Copies of this chain bind each other. A is one copy, B any other.
Amino acid sequence: MKTFRFKTYLTSNVESLESINKELLNKCKQQQFKKGDYLLREGEISKTSYFVEDGLLRQFSVDDKGKEHVIQFAPENWFMANREGECFNLPSSYNIEAIEDTTVFIIEKELIENLSKTNSVFLNFNIELLHKHIASLQKRITQLQSKTAKERYLDFIKTYPDVLMRVPQTYVASYLGITPESLSRVRKEISINK
């Protein structure tokens, strides 16, 4: 029988609380998306979080000129959510798209709320996830403010070791806030110095 990544993740992160993990696995439905499908479109209100079981998602915005800007990738074992909708019932500023055929576990806000109220281990886990998200976003801002294209690229490889070969280079450049030409230069430079 297949062991779900979601189960392995929960077992190793929510301090092996068997009862919670069972409830999460039972109550979170799986859903499949085809490459190119949208899980969420800008303007929609969503209270759903996703755990990526298989595949790859990207969260991105589109500016006034129609240019796309990738804010986050989510490969296997990553979560993705629309925080504006989840708490404040606001329409999303972002799109979430499957950039490979993708299977996710769907985690509804209500389930997170109920588990947080009844179980302090889960509550801590959820709070830690939110803090981790904040810390990673702050790091990204600092990078956009102060790091060179090369430094950003090297950090990208560290953060997403298996994403680089799975996405178009334009997405990577967009995530890094550099031009595709700069990305090419950096990659060439690094391969020469190896």
* Chain B residues near A135 (CB-CB < 8 A): 83-84, 88
* Chain B residues near A67 (CB-CB < 8 A): 146
Given A132-B87, A141-B141, are A69 and B116 also a contact pair (CB < 8 Å)?
no
**B142 lies within 8 A of A141 (CB):** no
**A123 lies within 8 A of B134 (CB):** no
For A151, the closest partner residue in chain B by CB is B64
* Chain B residues near A34 (CB-CB < 8 A): none
Given A135-B83, A140-B141, are A117 and B127 also a contact pair (CB < 8 Å)?
no
Residue A14 interfacial (CB < 8 Å): no
**B71 lies within 8 A of A138 (CB):** yes
**B116 lies within 8 A of A146 (CB):** no
Once bound together, how far apart are the Cα atoms of A18 and B14, in whole Å?
33
* Chain B residues near A124 (CB-CB < 8 A): 113
**A145 lies within 8 A of B130 (CB):** no
For window 123-167 of A, CB contacts with B under 8 Å fall at 123-124, 126-128, 130-135, 137-142, 144-147
